[in-house]
Amino acid sequence: MGQFPTPDVAVSERRPDGGSDLHLELTGGGGARVRLMRALREAIDSGRLAPGTRLPPYRALALDLGIARNTVAAAYSELVEEGWLTSRQGSGTQVAHRAAPVEPGTRRGPARPSRLWIVHDLMPSSPDAAAFPRSSWIASARRALVAAPSDAFGVGDPRGRPELRQALADYLARTRGVRTRADHIVICSGYAHGLRLVCRVLRGPVAVEAYGLDIHRSILTEVGLTTVPLMVDDHGARVEDLPATGAQAVLLTPAHQYPTGGALHSERRAAVIDWARATGGLLLEDDYDGEFRYDREPVGAVQGLDPDRVVHFGSASKSLSPSLRLGWMALPGRLVDDVLAAKGRRELWSGVTDQLTLADFIACGAYDRRLRRMRKIYRHRRDLLTALLAERAPHVTVSGIAAGLHAVLDLPPDTEQATLRAARRLGLAVDGLGPYRHPGSAMPPRDGLVIGYGTPPEHAITAALEALCLALPDPPEGRDAGPGRAPRGR
């Protein structure tokens, strides 16, 4: 009989009786369990072990590697806990089914950690991609292409197609209270693109909300503009502090403050317009998810109070898909030429066929039907999130849920990073609240998570939210963990 291979050499299984053949190299420092876990992680991370691959039983792998059976069992168990493997009675141990590794910088918002393998995506950026209205979009594309004039297929107009600009002018007036004309609308490839264009015609400091997307602050600083933070509370940004900032423009999310969730109070809406009129300042209004509201009446756009002092930004990223790369700006008339000059003489960003399709999609009523349908779906998901938290983690408060596709979970002090690590071990992609805080803000830091419930497909949302509850910190000493959730003694 041959000798067992030593743990420091490559081995391949030669048995025909169970599991997949493996090639593992148990090299490096540490005990046998540590080396085996490292070898399995490398094989999975590199793609050599595909999702669903069945691993050998404990005894068989232990015999081939010349290590104890209990060592293999312990390594398997720990990798299951980390989310690399799955184990079910009667099915053995398998490589977990995972999405592709996430590359940093591919999402609107704080970058995810590189090489994170995701089972459930709860990042607050996207709608449910599986719910994209393919049939009705194709129908609109057919109609739009048949009806399109020949000049639509020539050099693109940087203003955008007139069909879409007129459809948007009508739609925004009807649903958001925006007062504009088609010739004051400029099409862009999304909010970030539009913001870059407008920033190129701004001068002086720009006030921003103390909590907001760092990528938007970066856009401002990249063109040489200083950002000054405004504190936020349950009623949105504290615009009464604007005069003291010396800002010449202010960037706000009035309908649903991002990410904390409050709507700008009516008195503050009037106050920011008064400030703009008195100083010649400009309000940049990011209306990123104004269509999705649940527990309150629709909040109209601030732009309707004074179209000459507000740039109103919108996009199809939340309502349809970020992959369309379609956004729009309703500009004060005096800024149109300057923004077009910044954009260039030809349309280099937004495809004409998608513009024509969206124009038809809006005009035929499909856009309204889409929003009504998704509003019901997202409200159900929001309700499921709040119900699970009330049952499993009643010590965690949730806010910002009257509208939008995300919620903020306030955590006990100094628990945000540990919670993010726990979430990653469970295969969850989630955002911490910390990166949203302006580094120059006087507001005290808050520990929390920003949870997007729009991205998971309908069949996976319950499992995603249940996994989230498992990642949350235990209640403070003396408080009940809630039914179905035992303290873990961290």
Return the SS3 of 290.
coil
Give mean pLDDT, residues 435-463.
93
Amino acid 9: pLDDT:
36
> Which amino acid type is present at position 171?
Y
pLDDT band for position 77 (cuts 50, 70, 90): confident
Residue 42 shares a structural domain with residue 158? no
Q: Which of 76-80, 278-282, 467-471 has the least mean pLDDT?
A: 76-80
Residue 72 shares a structural domain with residue 176? no
Which residue shows structure tokens 């002086």? 204
Give mean pLDDT, residues 120-133.
91
Number of domains in the chain: 3
Task: Check whether 414 has a pLDDT greater than 60.
Answer: yes
Give mean pLDDT, residues 405-425.
94
> Which amino acid type is present at position 159?
R
Task: Check whether 82 has a pLDDT greater than 80.
Answer: no
Amino acid 482: pLDDT:
54
Contact between 311 and 329 under an 8 Å Cβ cutoff? The reply is: yes
Amino acid 16: pLDDT:
36
Residue 177 shares a structural domain with residue 314? yes
Choosing from 337, 365, 393, the residue where a domain stops is 365
Q: Which of 2-6, 33-37, 116-120 has the least mean pLDDT?
A: 2-6
Give mean pLDDT, residues 425-439.
94
Question: CA-to-CA distance for 355 and 324, rounded, in angstroms?
Answer: 9
Question: Tokens for 281?
Answer: 């300042």
Residue 162 shares a structural domain with residue 53? no
Give mean pLDDT, residues 389-402.
93
Amino acid 60: pLDDT:
87
Amino acid 487: pLDDT:
38
Question: Tokens for 389?
Answer: 């938290």
Residue 145 shares a structural domain with residue 253? yes
Q: Any idea how long the chain is?
A: 490
Residue 20 shares a structural domain with residue 78? yes
Task: Check whether 12 has a pLDDT greater than 80.
Answer: no
Residue 193 shares a structural domain with residue 312? yes
Residue 74 shares a structural domain with residue 197? no
Residue 346 shares a structural domain with residue 431? no
Amino acid 17: pLDDT:
42
Residue-wise pLDDT tens digits, 182-240: 999 999 999 999 999 999 999 889 999 999 999 999 999 999 999 999 999 999 999 99
Q: Which domain holds residue 416?
A: 120-130+369-471
The long-range contacts involving 274-281, CB below 8 angstroms and separated by at least 24 positions, are 275/239, 275/242, 275/243, 275/250, 276/306, 276/309, 276/310, 277/306, 277/309, 279/243, 279/248, 280/248, 281/242, 281/247, 281/248, 281/249, 281/250, 281/309
Residue ranges of E strands in 394-444 = 397-399, 406-410, 428-429, 431-432
Average pLDDT, the chain: 87
Residue 293 shares a structural domain with residue 384? no
Q: Distance of alpha carbon 17 from its chain centroid, rounded?
A: 46
Question: Tokens for 421?
Answer: 């690590």
Task: Give which of 216, 193, 202, 217 is closest to 283, Cα–Cα.
Answer: 202
Question: Which CATH number goes with the domain that contains 444?
Answer: 3.90.1150.10
- The answer for residues whose C-beta is within 8 angstroms of residue 191's C-beta and 6 or more apart is 108, 286, 288, 313, 314, 315, 317, 327
Amino acid 481: pLDDT:
53
Higher pLDDT, 150 or 126: 150
Higher pLDDT, 38 or 87: 38
Q: What values do phi and psi take at 125, rounded to 5?
A: -140, -30
Residue 378 shares a structural domain with residue 238? no
pLDDT band for position 485 (cuts 50, 70, 90): very low
pLDDT band for position 117 (cuts 50, 70, 90): low
Q: Which of 68-72, 136-140, 145-149, 357-361 has the least mean pLDDT?
A: 68-72
| Other beta carbons within 10 Å of 469 | 17
Whether a cis peptide bond, with omega within 30° of 0, leads into 457 is no
Question: Which CATH number goes with the domain that contains 16?
Answer: 1.10.10.10
Give mean pLDDT, residues 387-405.
93
Residue 350 shares a structural domain with residue 213? yes
Give mean pLDDT, residues 63-75.
88
Q: What is the DSSP letter of 54?
A: B
Q: pTM for the complete prediction? A: 0.76
